[in-house]
Amino acid sequence: MIQGLEEYNSSPPIESNFKRQFKAWRIIAFMRWITFILGPVAIFFDRILQPWMVSMGLPNILTMEDVSKWLILDVLSLSKWIDVDEFIELYHHVNWVSCALFVVFLLWHSIMKRKTTQSARNLTLLEEKMRGGI
């Protein structure tokens, strides 16, 4: 049977499915870490760790809020559109939204890891079948 040019694909559907799922899984894993840093880590550092360090006698010089303010307003030069008071109000909302998204990405990561592993097994079985005829 001769395959038409428009139907030709160099990789089997199982391999392209694996590549697609693997890319999605890695993007979700990256987003999980970003939301982890913006949400739970920032809240833990600002509300628990930093006050504890001040009570131990260390100077009150740096919080995650200060780092975020410096990064957003000074480095990215968004101070033209966002004033400091508005940033502080939005910062706490971003923390809580990031916590919720972290939970979502955590669950989604688990599901995608399972699907990617299954796709990799299917690809391995297909390659094994192909080698069996050699």
Mean of pLDDT values over 11-35: 85
Report the percentage of the chain scoring pLDDT > 70. 89
Give the separation between CA 81 and CA 11, rounded to whole angstroms.
Answer: 48
Higher pLDDT, 91 or 14: 91
Structure tokens at 98: 């990031």
Residue 11 has pLDDT above 80, yes or no: no
Residue 97, Ramachandran bin (φ over 0: left; ψ between -120 and 50: alpha; else beta): alpha
Comparing CA positions, the residue from 48, 46, 35, 19 lying closest to residue 94 is 35
Give the separation between CA 48 and CA 44, rounded to whole angstroms.
Answer: 5
Q: Determine the distance from the C-alpha atom of residue 69 to the mean position of all C-alpha atoms in its chain, rounded to a whole number.
A: 21
Report the percentage of the chain scoring pLDDT > 90. 26
**Cβ of 38: how many Cβ atoms within 10 Å?**
20
Mean of pLDDT values over 14-42: 89
Residue 3 has pLDDT above 50, yes or no: no
All structural domains of the chain with their residue ranges = 24-55+62-127
Give the separation between CA 61 and CA 41, rounded to whole angstroms.
Answer: 18
Encode pLDDT of 72-109 as tens digits.
888 888 888 888 888 888 888 999 999 999 999 999 99
